[in-house]
Amino acid sequence: DSGVTQTPKHLITATGQRVTLRCSPRSGDLSVYWYQQSLDQGLQFLIQYYNGEERAKGNILERFSAQQFPDLHSELNLSSLELGDSALYFCASSPWVTDTQYFGPGTRLTVL
């Protein structure tokens, strides 16, 4: 158990819909990262927040957005969902900006 929690564990929805994935970092960690992992694919970095501020951006689509709240939990919002958005979405946290990352168990999103 890494100490990072993600909800929900599974999510099934339809194309065109909007969903919100939630992440609670390890106690004391200030950075939160979001990754997308499609079937048999590597980890695609989406975005990083540090202490409530956006720190780095990766290959995040305009239909996707994220935020980190004052209590340091983070949410990833995915809108106008397409079939290709079906993937595992991981959240990770670290104490500072570029430390070891601790990954949560992931949310498996299925878009039908």
Partner 1 sequence: GQQVMQIPQYQHVQEGEDFTTYCNSSTTLSNIQWYKQRPGGHPVFLIQLVKSGEVKKQKRLTFQFGEAKKNSSLHITATQTTDVGTYFCAGLTGGGNKLTFGTGTQLKVEL
Q: Which residues bind partner 1 (CB under 8 A)?
A: 2, 33, 35, 40, 42-43, 45, 48, 55-56, 58, 90, 92, 97-98, 100-106
State in angstroms the smallest separation of the CB of 80 from partner 1.
26
State in angstroms the smallest separation of the CB of 100 from partner 1.
5
State in angstroms the smallest separation of the CB of 42 from partner 1.
5
Beta bridge partners of 74: 23, 68
Among residues 2 and 51, whose Cβ is nearest to partner 1?
Answer: 2
> CB neighbours (10 Å) of residue 42?
9
> CB neighbours (10 Å) of residue 91?
29
44 exposure class (CB count in 10 Å sphere: 0-12, 13-18, 19+) = middle
